[in-house]
Amino acid sequence: MTTTTDTLPQPKIAVVGYGSQGRAHAMNLRDSGFDVVVGLRAGGPTEGKAKADGFIVKTPAEAVKDADLVAVLTPDMVQKQLYDEVLAANMKQGAVLLFAHGLNVHFGMIAPREDLDVVLVAPKGPGALVRREYEIGRGVPCIYAIYQDKSGKAKDYALAYAGGLGGARANLIETTFKEETETDLFGEQAVLCGGASSLVQAGFETLVEAGYQPEIAYYEVLHELKLIVDLFYEGGITRMLEFISETAQYGDYVSGPRVIDASTKARMKDVLTDIQNGTFTKNWVAEYEAGLPNYKKFKQADLEHPIEVVGKQLRAKMVWLADNAPKPTSQQA
Ligand code: NAD
Ligand code: MG
Ligand code: MG
Ligand code: MG
Ligand code: MG
Q: The domain spanning residue 17 has which CATH number?
A: 3.40.50.720
Q: Are residues 138 and 246 in the same domain?
A: no
> Residues 290-309: pLDDT tens digits?
999 999 999 999 999 999 99
pLDDT range class, residue 319, cuts 50, 70, 90 = confident
Q: How confident is the model at residue 2 (pLDDT cuts 50, 70, 90)?
A: very low
Identify the domain containing residue 319 by its residue range.
186-324
Q: Do residues 118 and 20 share a domain?
A: yes
How far away, in angstroms, is 194 Cα from ligand 4 center? 24
Q: What does the mean pLDDT of the chain come to?
A: 95
- Give the residue, out of 15, 16, 20, with the most ligand 1 atoms within 8 A of its beta carbon, to mutate for a pocket test: 20
ipTM of the complex: 0.96
Whether 270 is in a domain gets the answer yes
Do 165 and 190 fall within a single domain? no
pLDDT value at position 3?
46
158, 208: one domain = no
How many domains does the chain divide into?
2
Q: Which residues are annotated as a binding site for substrate?
A: 245
Q: Please check whether residues 194 and 142 belong to one and the same domain.
A: no
pLDDT above 50: residue 1: no
Q: Is 21 in the pocket of ligand 1 (CB under 6 A)?
A: yes
Distance CA 185, CA 333 (A): 9
Binding residues: 18-21, 41, 46, 127, 184, 188, 220, 224, 245
Q: At 255, which amino acid appears?
A: S
Which residues neighbour ligand 2 (ion) by CB within 5 Å? 184, 333
Question: For residue 203, how far is its CA from the centre of ligand 1 (angstroms)?
Answer: 32
Q: What is the pTM of this model?
A: 0.93
pLDDT of 325 over the 80 cut: no
199 Cβ inside 6 Å of ligand 1: no
Q: Is 14 in the pocket of ligand 1 (CB under 6 A)?
A: no
* Domain final position from 142, 176, 210: 176
* Within-domain flag for 140: yes
311 CB within 6 A, ligand 1:
no
pLDDT in tens, 63-84: 999 999 999 999 999 999 999 9
Q: Report which of residues 320 and 87 the model is more confident about.
A: 87
Catalytic residue annotation:
101
Residues 256 and 291 in one domain: yes
Residues 212, 257: one domain? Answer: yes
Mean pLDDT of 21-34: 98
Does the pLDDT of residue 207 top 50, yes or no? yes
Distance between Cα 141 and ligand 5 center (Å): 15
Per-residue pLDDT, averaged over 276-294, amounts to 98
